[in-house]
Amino acid sequence: MKIGIMSFAHVHAAGYARLLAGIPGVEVVAADPGDHPDGEVRGAMLAAELGVYYLDDYEDLFTWEPDAVIITSENARHRADVERAAAAGAHILCEKPLATSWADGLAIRDALARAGVTAMIAHPVRFSSDFARLRAQYRAGALGEVVAVRAANNGKMPTERSWFTEPQLAGGGALADHVVHIADLVDALTGATPVRVTATSNRLLYPDRDAESAAVILVEYSDGMIAALDSSWSVPQQAPAWGGLQMSVLGTGGTVDVDFFGSAARGVTSSGQAVEARYGADLDAAMLNCFLEAVRTGAQPQPDVETGLRGLSIVLAAQESAQTGRTVDVAELLER
C-alpha cells in the first residue's frame, strides 16, 4: 500500500510518518512544499530524520499514485488539499478540525462525494480502550439517559509550529485546536446533534498572540443533554507532559469519570525536576490501523466527514458566541 503525507505542518505528522514507516507492506512518501518558518524542522530535513522518502511538491507525490494520503497541513489549507487528493482518487485521513469555515467544510464533503473516495477525520482518542468501555457501558444501559457531560482538554501551546497561533491558518487558537476532540467523543458516545452554543474565551495566558489561549463552551444537544467543555493551552511549557483530556459523563443511572491519558509513572529527578512517563496503547497507531484497513476493504471508517462537520459547527458557533457574548443557534448560524 502506498501512503502519501501531505505537509509536515501539523505536530502529529512526524508521529504518523514514523508509525507508517514501521508497518510491513506500506510505502511512505512525504511532500512538504512551500517556505517554512525559520527554526522549524520541516521538508527534506525532517523526512530524512524520520527515514521516509521525500518529494518536493504535491504534483510529484500524486504522479507516484498513492492509494491514500494523510493531510497534515495547516487547517485553512485542508480544503485545497482534500480537493486535490480526492480528484486524484486517493483515500484521505484528514487532521482535525475538518476546515476553518462552513463553506470549506461543505466543499470538502462535496469533493469526497464526487470522487467516491474514503475519508476519515483524525480523532485518535476515540480509539482508546477507556472510551470503548465507556461506550459499551452506555450502550448496555448502565448509565441510563445521559444528562450532562463535563470535559477538559488542556495542553501546552504548540510552540513547535508557529501557525497554530495564527487564526488565518489555524482558524482560531485553543478553542479550534481542542474543542473538536471533546465534541467527537460526545458525538461518538451519544450521536446527539448540537443545537445551541454559549462560549467565552480570552488571550490572558499568551497576550502577545492573536489567538485565544483559553475557552469554556456550553453546548446544548438535541436530546436535552448539556456538555460543558474546557479548552485551553494552560499547561506550562516546562511541564513534564503535554497535557490531557478528562471527561465526566452524568446519566440517570450513574456517573463515569475518565482520564484518557492518566496512566503514567510520575516522579522527580535528583535535581528536583518533575518527570512523567505515560504508558498504554498508542492511540495514533490504532487510528492508522483503522484507516489502512478501510483503504484495503473499502469500508467507511469513523469518524467520517459528517462527524467532522458537526464538530466544526460547534467550533464556529462557539467562536461567534465568544465574540458577541450571546448564545448561538447552530442551525441559524449555518444557514447564513
What's phi and psi for 55, nearest 5 deg? Answer: -120, 150
Average pLDDT, the chain: 96
Three-state SS annotation for the chain: CEEEEECCCCCCHHHHHHHHHCCCCCEEEEECCCCCCCCCCCHHHHHHHHCCEEECCHHHHHHCCCCEEEECCCHHHHHHHHHHHHHCCCEEEEECCCCCCHHHHHHHHHHHHHHCCCEEEECHHHHCHHHHHHHHHHHCCCCCCEEEEEEEEEECCCCCCHHHHCHHHHCCCHHHHHHHHHHHHHHHHHCCCEEEEEEEEECCCCCCCCCCCEEEEEEEECCCCEEEEEEECCCCCCCCCCEEEEEEEEECCEEEEEECCCCEEEEECCCCCEEEEECCCCHHHHHHHHHHHHHHHCCCCCCCHHHHHHHHHHHHHHHHHHHHCCCEEHHHHHHC
Calpha distance 181→312 (Å, rounded): 11
Percent of the chain with pLDDT over 70: 100
Q: Which residues pair with 268 in a beta bridge?
A: 274
- The pLDDT value recorded for residue 133 is 97
Calpha distance 312→128 (Å, rounded): 22
Domains and CATH numbers, the chain: 2-117 (3.40.50.720), 125-285+310-335 (3.30.360.10)
- pLDDT of 336 strictly over 90: no
* 194 to 191, 197, 219, 302: CA distances (angstroms): 10, 8, 7, 18
Name the pTM for this structure. Answer: 0.96
Percent of the chain with pLDDT over 90: 99
What's phi and psi for 34, nearest 5 deg? Answer: 100, 175
Q: What is the pLDDT of residues 193-250, one digit of tens each?
A: 999 999 999 999 999 999 999 999 999 999 999 999 999 999 999 999 999 999 999 9
pLDDT band at 170 (very low <50, low <70, confident <90, very high): very high
Q: What is the pLDDT of residues 241-296, one digit of tens each?
A: 999 999 999 999 999 999 999 999 999 998 888 999 999 999 999 999 999 999 99
pLDDT band at 80 (very low <50, low <70, confident <90, very high): very high
Calpha distance 49→45 (Å, rounded): 6
- Distant-in-sequence, close-in-space partners of 297: CB < 8 Å, separation ≥ 6: none
Average pLDDT over residues 307-322: 98
